Amino acid sequence: MAITSIKNLKEFSTSNDRFEGAHLLCPGCAHSMIVRELMNCTDDNLVIGSNTGCLEVSTAVYPYTSWDTSWIHIGFENAATAVTGAEAMHKARKRKGTLKDPDAPVKFVAFGGDGSTFDIGFQWLSGAMERGHDFTYICLDNENYANTGGQRSSATPIGATTSTAQAGTHSYGKKEKKKDIVSIMAAHGAPYVAQLAPNKWKSMAKGFQKALETEGPCFINTVSACTTEWKFDPKDTIHITDLATDSLMFPIYEIIDGHELNILYRPKNVLKVEDYLGAQGRYRHLFKPENKHVIEQIQSDIDKNWEMLQRREEARI
Amino acid sequence: MSMTGSVPGTDNRGIRELGAEEKVGWDQVQQGVVLPSFEGDAADIAHQKAEERHYADFNSYTATVASWRVLKPVYNRDICIDCQNCWVWCPDTSIISRDKQMLGIDYDHCKGCGVCVEVCPTNPKSLLMFNEAEENEEALSEWPQKEKKAK
């Protein structure tokens, strides 16, 4: 694979962008930061599929497309299916010798939001992982259905207010915990599964390159801060993501072959989760006295999860 | 920017009038649309800089979202250290970097989110937000001085 050098940002910046501006994502949206980084970290031809979601509706508004590579959108749930189908066809045509340029390296990538990954496309994604196609699935996790007005998804964390799980006098927002998608995907025995964040650009670029290089189905969950539904100022996208990774709300780690866990980022000063929650409008109600117990629960969940990750890393099983 | 005949109802600025296209019956609607991003062969796009490519009118590179901005980032070459933080985190591909050097801002595609200003590490910052109506020269003339770090 032709790899773009990511030794430092200066070298990385010589990569030619293949994701064009004038897409209609909100100002400050982390989706496009992640997509740009993926497309910049390789020189290979890319075949990309997108599930319905913010990314798809904003980057292909007729008569415009923001993609400089092959890109397909079909349904809400089946980017994984479409891309693995393209991968199977590519393999078959290579075998039959009907490709125009059989030696040109091609990578297959599917993008989905958290709604289409955790909920609607879960079965299709699981099937694609099980069939063992050579592709990479990247989930842009903004923890709600941001495209349709911020409904709850199974990626929404406990305590967040959404348009269908609203905080008020009788409720503190969503009452259920977030699905642990990374462990679920690792349990498929996938060769490379990771959770990455755009504020740590180097670990993210390294993770993307590893996933693209690895043969077989790879899954990456990326944190995509949503300025509209998380309710923060667009300029603060990277700051909020910093808070997310430093409070360990989103630990950055990878799981190789379903068992070998490596933590990729250990914050020097671990922040209290209040710092992360307090920076966003969707958690404002948790700071009322009657809701304090939710913050305590979130903090204890984070501590337990971090302990579990560290012990799994030590155990190497 | 000029639009080809395949995109109907565009005025001379290339902006398409909604609803101006010819209406067709439900059974004549084309199922699925393919939009070519480039004119001609696009096999080696990864090794071509934006100015070397032949963008098709369908590519959003030929469109603009400049009207979204209220504030705009202004770039000060004298202070910049070419760290490329703004390049890696710009969500709108609007930081023009060539050969490890930051050249400026693509005002056609910048939405004025301000992420580039937040991630700029220099003191004073080499990117700052100014009112969209203000001239860049004027903005550069009122650039703030170096701030002393509070100890």
Per-residue confidence (pLDDT) for residue A74, from 0 to 100: 83
Counted domains in chain A: 1
Residues 59-88 of A with CB under 8 A from B: 59-60, 62-69
**Domain presence at residue B76:** yes
- Residues of B with CB below 8 A from A64's CB? 35, 58-60, 62-63
Same domain, B58 and B83: no
**Domain presence at residue B147:** no
Same domain, B20 and B75: no
Counted domains in chain B: 2
**Domain presence at residue B148:** no
Output the domain CATH number for residue A45. 3.40.50.970
**Domain presence at residue B150:** no
- Binary contact (A20, B109; C-beta < 8 A): yes
- Binary contact (A201, B84; C-beta < 8 A): no
- Binary contact (A68, B59; C-beta < 8 A): yes
Per-residue confidence (pLDDT) for residue B14, from 0 to 100: 62
**Domain presence at residue B22:** yes
Task: Suggest the residue from A68, A101, A208 to mutate for an interface test with chain B (most B CBs closer than 10 A).
Answer: A68
Mean pLDDT within B22-39: 80
Per-residue confidence (pLDDT) for residue B151, from 0 to 100: 64
Interface contact B57, partner A, CB < 8 A: yes
Interface contact B84, partner A, CB < 8 A: yes
Same domain, B133 and B74: yes
Output the domain CATH number for residue B113. 3.30.70.20
**Domain presence at residue B146:** no
Which helix (H) or strand (E) element contains residue A309? Answer: helix A292-315
Residues 95-114 of A with CB under 8 A from B: 101, 104
What does chain B look like in DSSP terms, one character per residue? ----TTS-SB-TT-PBPTT-SPP--GGGS-SS----SBSS--TTGGGS-GGGS-B-TTBGGGS--GGG-SEEEEE-TTT-----HHHHH-TTS-EEEETTEEEEE-TTT-----HHHHH--SSS-SEEEEETTS-HHHHHHTPPPPPPPP-
Per-residue confidence (pLDDT) for residue A88, from 0 to 100: 96
Interface contact A28, partner B, CB < 8 A: yes
Same domain, B78 and B59: no
Same domain, B89 and B111: yes
Per-residue confidence (pLDDT) for residue A254, from 0 to 100: 96
Same domain, B49 and B29: yes
Task: Suggest the residue from B58, B89, B96 to mutate for an interface test with chain A (most A CBs closer than 10 A).
Answer: B89
Per-residue pLDDT tens for A4-55?
777 889 999 999 999 999 999 999 999 999 999 999 999 999 999 999 999 9
- Out of B23, B48, B63, a domain closes at B63
Task: Please report the ipTM that was assigned to this predicted complex.
Answer: 0.92
Per-residue pLDDT tens for A145-172?
999 999 999 999 999 999 999 999 999 9
**Domain presence at residue B99:** yes
Per-residue pLDDT tens for B81-128?
999 999 999 999 999 999 999 999 999 999 999 999 999 999 999 999
Mean pLDDT within A189-202: 96
- Out of B63, B79, B113, a domain closes at B63
The parent domain of residue B96 ranges over 64-141
**Domain presence at residue A1:** no
Same domain, B45 and B109: no
Same domain, B18 and B44: yes
Rounded to the nearest integer, the mean pLDDT of chain A is 94
Per-residue confidence (pLDDT) for residue A84, from 0 to 100: 96
Same domain, B94 and B110: yes
Per-residue confidence (pLDDT) for residue A182, from 0 to 100: 96
**Domain presence at residue A28:** yes
Nearest by CB to B113, which of A2, A43, A235? Answer: A235
Percent of chain A predicted with pLDDT > 90: 92
Task: Suggest the residue from B113, B127, B130 to mutate for an interface test with chain A (most A CBs closer than 10 A).
Answer: B113
Per-residue pLDDT tens for A258-288?
999 999 999 999 999 999 999 999 999 999 9
pLDDT surpassing 50 at residue A66: yes
